[in-house]
Structure 1
């Protein structure tokens, strides 16, 4: 189905014609010379009255005539269209759909809870009316299906560098979700304007274990950064001492200084130095 324009004329012009037909019919009934013509005009007036329709802003009126699709009126106002036709309202307003919290498995098999909001609108009223039974229900089911499919393609989080994850690449995941939804919903004449994740969490049965894993990864990353900085500080200290000739260090003393500096810098507690003041003997 493809949306098209039906036969319409301005409703105010139609109202004037309707009033004129009623006046002529009334005069003929009063005169009693043309009763048959008065009856024909009365039937014509009923036909004109049945063809009047009002279209609200951001609303479409789908017109069908004896089971045949005649077209869609998109312009707001009062219109006169095909008499005795059936008109169905279709909203063109932007709407939101909030999915329920779905329990799915990510690509690594971890159970997670995920939900999304989809912003959409109808752009083809013919497809929305005739190609699917109920386009609103169709949007709901396809949105949840696409959300499950996208969630199965990525891990919840990446503990190593590189690769996309649901938590770390929310913009990229949302863009892919919107693309997949558009492919699924184009058959219903629906345009997906935006799709965003509104809820993302591990399931309760593994939440505590995954929290410990995240904490361990964070500790390892912090320790690696501290060690990297400590090695640079030790190298700078030894090279500066040798360059300025403050003290001559052999290999054994270098090893001892490196050990002491690394322990003092890397340790998570403040260093307590022991001062050697000499010996009594």
Structure 2
């Protein structure tokens, strides 16, 4: 069921017309009170005008009125202010304002099977009032349940951390993950006439039972990466030192002495602590 525009008129104009008709009918009743048929017509006219007064209603900004007539949907009015419609129409308020929904912390397994805790914030608003009211029983509850289901499904398709062979990870690619989550939620909420403006992860962590082990793993990975960078720089410095010594002919080293020099330089450059030099004063070597 799609939304359609419901019948309504400017409420101020309608109220003015009803007020004029009410006054004229009362004057008519008083003027022709001595005639037997005139009072009956005036009284009926007064009753008809009185029945029309409940057709006035007020719509607040960013709200709408969904109207039904004996169980049939007749349209939605979104014009804010004082409006008038047929009094027999049943009117139901529905908010068009932007809302926030924050899921609870869900415990799921990521793409690699690691248990993680994840939560998300979803920003949404009603786009189609007819679908929101008539297609689902409670659209607010529907948004919360389907958002959590989409979050669970999305979390299982990505790993927590980026590893070899992975293109996107939950922790390292927040923008891509947010777009994927928004698309996943929007597909589920289309039936309820809800438009998702934004969806992003608000909490992400390893489950407590593996958090310590995963922290050690991250620290080990960081240490290995740092050591690799240090070794790469040290090898470059040793290579440059040997090239300079050979170019300036400062000393002529054989292969064994070169190997010893390389070993000593790597120990100095890659060691965690300051080295203690030993001065050789007895010979060239």
* Class of the TM-score when normalised by the shorter of the 2 chains: over 0.9
Deviation of 1:48 (Å): 1.4
Deviation of 1:40 (Å): 2.0
After superposition, the CA RMSD in angstroms is: 1.3
Q: Is the 8 A contact 1:113 1:203 kept in 2?
A: yes
What aligned pairs does 1:191-206 form with structure 2 within 5 A after superposition?
191-206=195-210
Q: 1:91 aligns with which of 86, 92, 95?
A: 95
Q: Describe the SS at the equivalent of 2:58.
A: strand
Q: Is the 8 A contact 1:96 1:120 kept in 2?
A: yes
Distance 1:159 1:238 in 2: 37
Q: Describe the SS at the equivalent of 1:113.
A: strand
Partner of 2:22: 22
Partner of 2:231: 227
Partner of 1:207: 211
Q: Per-residue displacement from partner, 1:211-231 (whole Å, max 9, x unpaired)?
A: 111111111111111111111
Deviation of 1:124 (Å): 0.8
Unaligned stretches of 5+ residues in structure 2: none
Q: 1:63 aligns with which of 67, 71, 84?
A: 67
What aligned pairs does 1:122-201 form with structure 2 within 5 A after superposition?
122-160=126-164, 162-201=166-205
135-144 vs 155-164, which deviates more?
155-164
Q: Describe the SS at the equivalent of 1:197.
A: strand
Partner of 1:262: 266
Partner of 1:242: 246
Deviation of 1:136 (Å): 0.7
TM-score by length of 1: 0.96
Q: Is the 8 A contact 2:7 2:77 kept in 1?
A: no
Q: Describe the SS at the equivalent of 2:175.
A: helix
248-257 vs 22-31, which deviates more?
22-31
Partner of 1:107: 111
32-41 vs 194-203, which deviates more?
32-41
TM-score by length of 2: 0.94
Partner of 1:3: 3
Deviation of 1:39 (Å): 2.8
The count of aligned residue pairs is: 279
Distance 1:138 1:202 in 2: 28
Unaligned stretches of 5+ residues in structure 1: none
Distance 2:187 2:219 in 1: 39
Distance 2:165 2:191 in 1: 39
Q: Describe the SS at the equivalent of 2:251.
A: coil
Q: Is the 8 A contact 1:120 1:194 kept in 2?
A: yes
